[in-house]
Amino acid sequence: MLFKRTKIFSLSAALLLLLAKQTLAFCPVCAVAVGVGLGLSRWLGVDDSVSGLWIGGVTIALIGWTINWLKQKHKTWPARDLTIWLGWLILILAPLYWIPGVWHPLNTLWGVNKLLLGIVLGGGVFWLMEWWYLILKNHHDNHAYFPYQKVVMPIGATIILSAVFYFITK
């Protein structure tokens, strides 16, 4: 059973890296780093809800980068953005299904699976910070208020949310 899970996870990771190389939408090392980061965080005892926040943020970033890349290449098809959203969610969530203990019925917070809760909230915060950044930028003659604001806002919000979840789940 473990061999089967490892094989499926390896095939999913290989597919992810193959797609990453074809689209050049993000660094393949980043995708591997997310997988390694989740494994390392579990080994260090970091709660799944905190790990999920970061996975959700990375997922939103990957979706955004892919859509922007396709726009630059003038690639379009019916429901393109929906296809990208669903594709990335499947590529990221499917391998997580086979990690032992992640989907255990007692691995919940507020009645929701901790990893799934973290992914949804982390993705939502990441998207919200991007939206807020664009609003702030529009009110400042299309310039950021400070250097690296586009990076600081979502990462800072995710760090704060991680600290909140760390203390909630402790």
Q: Is the C-alpha dihedral spanning 16, 29, 83, 51 positive or negative? A: positive
Query: What's the pLDDT score for residue 35?
Result: 58
End-to-end CA separation in angstroms for the chain: 32
- Cβ–Cβ contacts within 10 Å for residue 152, how many? 15
Q: Which two tokens stand for residue 9?
A: 């996870």
pTM of the model: 0.72
Q: Where are the alpha helices (DSSP H) in 28-170?
A: 28-44, 48-72, 80-96, 114-138, 149-169
Query: What's the pLDDT score for residue 84?
Result: 94
Q: What is the pLDDT along the chain (170 residues), one digit of tens a residue?
A: 444 544 544 555 554 444 444 443 344 445 555 556 666 777 778 888 898 998 898 888 889 889 989 999 999 889 999 999 999 998 888 888 777 777 788 888 888 889 899 999 999 998 999 899 989 999 999 998 998 888 888 888 988 998 999 898 87
- Cβ–Cβ contacts within 10 Å for residue 97, how many? 12
